[in-house]
Structure 1
Amino acid sequence: MEMIHRLTARWWFRVIAFAGLSNALIIPLLLYTSHLKNDIGYHYIYSLITETFVLIILIGLSILIETLRGKGKWFTFGILLDKWAIKDIGMGAVLNLFFAFAIFIFATVFSAYSDVSILPKTDIFVYLSLIILIEAIIEELIFRGVIFQAVLDRYGITIAILLNSILFGMGHLANPSINFYAIINIILAGVLFSGMYIRTKSLWLPISFHFFWNWFSALIGSPVSGIDFQISLTNIAWLELPAWLFGGSFGLEGGFFATILIIISGFITLKYSNSSPFLTSILFKRSYYESQLLFKLKIDNG
């Protein structure tokens, strides 16, 4: 077992294992479901099922890698559900509810209303809301999960955040209506989400903030990273609002409002978020154990 502990103690092994296994499992899944869509036709349920399987794969691999680490626990990549997690989830929800309300009020000042207001069907609303939730969790597992944490262990906060945030921005380059300012905001969001993980040593706050930002944006009618989810509960004509402020066809992430709110969220995170003492102690014990393993290995190798 010590041999496995020595392997998983190496940051690069965890990166290669997670990236390699996830791609080996997810790419065939996406190819298969893409074939089904071509044969049967698109429906929201297919995207929901596909993304659910992707989520299961990512969580399963994260649990496997964490469990195999010395002094490891299955939840130490960031999904320990305790009172601290509930606080983080609530913080993400409340912040974004306030932000969405503020943006909605400002939008009404410009009196940009559509002539029609069509409420989404219940089944479509549920499907698309679940898709928004699952996509937020998937992105956080990819960008703030095992790989980010491995780089953080090896290179420290500054390099890990910079590298992660740039990759997060690049991951959205293929989104519809992407523009330079939107990329800057997404990179800033990457910095924010990375900071949230570092402050809490948990993925719950970045997951919660990510999901509720996207969901509330969709509910008030804004596109989300260039995608119109069509679950709006308002009749505001967002494309008639000033694009520099509200983001235009890319959505709120492409506007100056988002920049302000990301900065505000950063200050709130620094002031009010913290980590579970229980989780902190587990991570410290594991870090010490792995450092001893690697030191012993270095001595053995001369």
Structure 2
Amino acid sequence: MAIRTWGVPAALGEARVLHPGPLRWLRALGWMVALLFAITIPAGLAITGLDSLLPEGGPSYVISNSVGALLCLLLYGLLVWGGEARRPDELGWRALPVDLVAGLLIGLLMFAAVMGLMSVFGLYDIAWKGPASAWEAAGASIQSGVMEEVLIRGVVLRLLWRAFGPWAAFAISAVLFGAGHLGNPNASVFAALCIAVEAGIMLGAFYALTGRLWVSIGVHAAWNFTQGYLFGAAVSGTDFGPAVAVSTARPGFADYLTGGPFGPEASLPALIVGTLVGVGVLVMAWKAGRFDRRPAATDAASG
């Protein structure tokens, strides 16, 4: 019973552009593409514009990325309200404090577990350096946590779910999420597969369980911040700036064990931790009845 009361079923959209009827799946896909452009371009321009106006370094990283994240949330809410004739309950503000804190703690503990496994099995050396500026890592974590979750889980996963049902939506959105990292420095097909499974499925599972985006946002942001700032490791092949530690893979181990230059996310320990959590949360969502709804394609055929 406790599982059922944590969150609500995901609102997939039932009206206006997503009203039941012929070709609902196609309308859902078109709406998905429209939302991606309508949110990404203004939010990206806002961040770029502020970065060019504000002095480089320090709080500027957090200010520009926070403005971009807030604009992303605002645009998503307004577009859902206008295009789907509903309140965007996936951004329910009353649930924000508890969900976000829960997500942040889960993300921190998950990545700490990854590095704990790395250390226990002698795959990584972790050297603590002491206090360091957190502005750059915080800004990057806010941007990736908020914007990627709104776009990938709130737009892509939700509307694929509306079009084809949950399982196809989870598979396709996870593959797209992993493939989106192929352009990162030192990326590989194995790294993309790791991201797809350990993060794409897991972050989507929290959205399915709660019907809201805040836990996924918190997990994503805390995972990246813990990885880049607390442990000083590469985050999906990128540098998150100053850190309180430096974590380096020990030579002599295969990249699939350590993640190589892409960072720990492309490692077997991260794949194990992320997959176990993702499958566990999916089972909770299943037991809570979050996947009981008929697929949209069936609705469209009957309409």
Confirm or deny: 8 A CA contact 1:197 1:205 kept in the other structure: yes
TM-align CA RMSD: 3.6
Secondary structure in 2 matching 1:222? coil
Partner secondary structure for residue 72 of structure 1: coil
Distance 1:227 1:70 in 2: 37
- Whether the 8 Å contact between 1:110 and 1:241 is mirrored in structure 2 is no
Q: Are 2:213 and 1:203 equivalent residues in the alignment?
A: yes
Q: Which has the higher contact order (CA 8 A, sep 6+)?
A: 2
State whether residues 178 and 195 of structure 2, in contact with CA within 8 Å, keep that contact through their aligned partners in structure 1.
Answer: yes
Distance 1:117 1:260, change over 3 A: closer
Other-structure match for 2:267: 255
Which 5+ residue runs of structure 1 have no aligned equivalent? 296-302
Q: Are positions 1:221 and 2:232 aligned together?
A: yes
State the alpha-carbon separation in 2 of the partners of residues 149 and 126 from structure 1.
32
Q: Residue type of the partner of 1:163?
A: I
Mapped partners of 1:59, 1:275: distance in 2: 30
1:153 aligns with 2:162: yes
- 2:279 and 2:161 map into 1 onto residues whose CA distance is 21
Structure 1's 21 and 234: CA in aligned 2 closer, same or farther, altered over 3 A?
closer
Q: Secondary structure at the match of 1:145?
A: helix
Name the CA shift for 1:257/1:79 in 2 (closer, same or farther; >3 Å): same
1:184 aligns with 2:188: no
- Amino acid paired to 2:36: A
How much identity, in percent, do the aligned residues show? Answer: 20
Instruction: State the AA in 2 paired with 1:246.
Output: T
Distance apart, 1:20 and its partner CA: 3.3
Which whole-Å deviations, capped at 9, do the CAs of 1:72-131 have from their partners, x for residues lacking one? Answer: 11x32x2224459725742552464254146236426639657x753343xx21442243
Please give the alpha-carbon distance, in whole angstroms, between the structure 1 residues aligned to 2:68 and 2:252: 36
Q: Partner letter of residue 150 of structure 1? A: L
Does residue 17 of structure 1 match 2:34? Answer: yes
Change (3 A) 1:52 1:125: same
Change (3 A) 1:200 1:240: same
Q: 1:234 aligns with which of 245, 251, 259?
A: 245
8 Å contact from structure 1 (residues 144, 197) kept in 2: yes
User: Quick check: which one's helix share is greater?
Assistant: 1
Q: Matches of 1:230 and 1:206 in 2, distance apart?
A: 23
- DSSP 3-state at the match of 2:205: helix
Tell me, yes or no, if the aligned pair for 2:62 and 2:139 is still in contact at 8 Å: yes
Q: How many residues align?
A: 272
Larger Rg belongs to: 1
Q: TM-score, normalised by structure 2?
A: 0.73
Q: Which runs of 5+ in 2 are unaligned?
A: 1-14, 20-26
